[in-house]
């Protein structure tokens, strides 16, 4: 499969080739113009029709920091994630990735972002190897085959590299999605409910992969409904409710039980709806 030079429609999503001046990945030093914050959001608003979804969000994520975003359904979490991923234009306010303002420099930012969302962005009729080779060519990666094989080994799919993705379980598809998102060694990793539908073994593998990416210095922003797990994994947890950040805490500052009580108070969510 040849690498497209224009946008590719993959299901209902538009995959845009992240072409930069250089075909090779820039280093962190070259990409970051703001040494303090990798993700910088100031007074961000977003409205759909007459419905305000984000109402003055302020969030700063440092290089190498792991931040988990939690909140009830409809709080605006996925909208915020899509804006950071350059898939949705911000309304008013300021959004910068690595110091580069969006949407003006979205083309420069895309190469440095890896996204795992509800949409796998994989071709079901292609094998695992063919899918990753497609994205390796899209990103114009050197040593593409070697990097693809290494990625398949990392997510435990090396033995299934020649099998069509349509034959994969939910957990296997999610693992391949993570391989796709990390293949180009992005500076920023975005995870929107990555644990949804995973069995215990797949969830444990994802825990290990997240730990590896943290050790590699990646900046990670993750959405999850699993409050205690998010608090345990990340450096900081942020609660979003009704389009605003209402609380944030660093790991170790409160116990899991205390955090659950804070979450219920800040979101007025009934206990039966909170996953522990």
- DSSP assignment of 30-99 equals HH-S-SS-SEEEEEEEEEETTEEEEEEEEEEE-TT-EEEEE--TTSSHHHHHHHHTTSS---SSEEEETT
CB count, 10 Å around CB of 128? 29
Supply the pLDDT for residue 117.
Answer: 87
Supply the pLDDT for residue 120.
Answer: 87
* Kind of pairing between the strands at 236-241 and 66-70: parallel
Residue 257, Ramachandran bin (φ over 0: left; ψ between -120 and 50: alpha; else beta):
alpha
Average pLDDT, stretch 232-259? 96
Tokens 């690498």 belong to residue = 3
| Local confidence band at 199 (pLDDT 50, 70, 90 cut-offs) | confident
Q: Percent of the chain scored above 90 by pLDDT?
A: 70
Listed by start position, the domains of the chain span: 8-273
Q: Is the pLDDT of residue 91 over 50?
A: yes
pLDDT tens sequence across 37-69: 999 999 999 999 989 999 999 999 999 999 999
Q: Is the pLDDT of residue 142 over 50?
A: yes
Average pLDDT, stretch 185-213? 89
Q: Is the pLDDT of residue 136 over 90?
A: yes
Tokens 């008013």 belong to residue = 92
Tokens 């071709």 belong to residue = 123
Q: Is the pLDDT of residue 15 over 70?
A: no
* pTM recorded for the entire structure: 0.84
Q: Is residue 244 within a helix (H) or strand (E), and if so which, with residue range?
A: strand 244-250
| pLDDT averaged over every residue in the chain | 87
CATH topology of domain 8-273: Rossmann fold (3.40.50)
pLDDT tens sequence across 101-123: 999 999 999 989 999 988 888 99
Q: Percent of the chain scored above 70 by pLDDT?
A: 84
Non-local (6+) Cβ contacts of 160 within 8 A are: 128, 168, 172
Supply the pLDDT for residue 32.
Answer: 61
**β-strand partners of 117:** none
**How far is Cα 209 from Cα 197, in angstroms, rounded to an integer?**
17
pLDDT tens sequence across 161-183: 999 999 999 889 989 999 999 99
Supply the pLDDT for residue 19.
Answer: 40
* Kind of pairing between the strands at 244-250 and 236-241: antiparallel
**β-strand partners of 100:** 97
């Amino acid at each position: 499969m040849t690498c497209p030079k224009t946008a590719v429609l993959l299901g209902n999503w538009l995959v845009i080739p992240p072409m930069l001046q250089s075909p090779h990945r820039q280093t962190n030093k070259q990409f970051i113009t703001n040494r303090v914050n990798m993700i910088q959001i100031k007074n961000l608003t977003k409205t759909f029709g007459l419905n305000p979804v984000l109402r003055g969000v302020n969030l700063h994520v440092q290089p190498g920091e792991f931040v988990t975003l939690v909140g009830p359904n409809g709080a605006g979490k996925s909208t915020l994630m899509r804006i950071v991923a350059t898939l949705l234009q911000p309304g008013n306010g300021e959004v910068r990735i690595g110091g580069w303002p969006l949407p003006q420099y979205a083309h420069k930012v895309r190469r440095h972002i890896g996204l795992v969302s509800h949409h796998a962005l994989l071709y079901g009729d292609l094998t695992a190897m063919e899918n990753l080779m497609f994205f390796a060519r899209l990103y114009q990666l050197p040593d593409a085959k070697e990097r693809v094989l290494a990625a398949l080994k990392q997510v435990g799919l090396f033995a299934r590299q020649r099998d069509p993705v349509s034959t994969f379980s939910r957990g296997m598809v999610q693992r391949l999605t993570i391989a796709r998102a990390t293949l180009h060694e992005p500076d920023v990793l975005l995870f929107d409910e990555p644990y949804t539908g995973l069995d215990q073994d797949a969830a444990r593998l994802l825990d290990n992969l997240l730990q590896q990416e943290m050790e590699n210095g990646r900046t990670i922003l993750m959405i999850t409904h699993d409050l205690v797990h998010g608090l345990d994994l990340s450096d900081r947890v942020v609660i979003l409710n009704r389009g605003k950040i209402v609380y944030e805490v660093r790991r170790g500052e409160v116990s899991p039980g205390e955090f659950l009580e804070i979450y219920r108070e800040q979101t007025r969510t009934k206990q039966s709806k909170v996953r522990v």
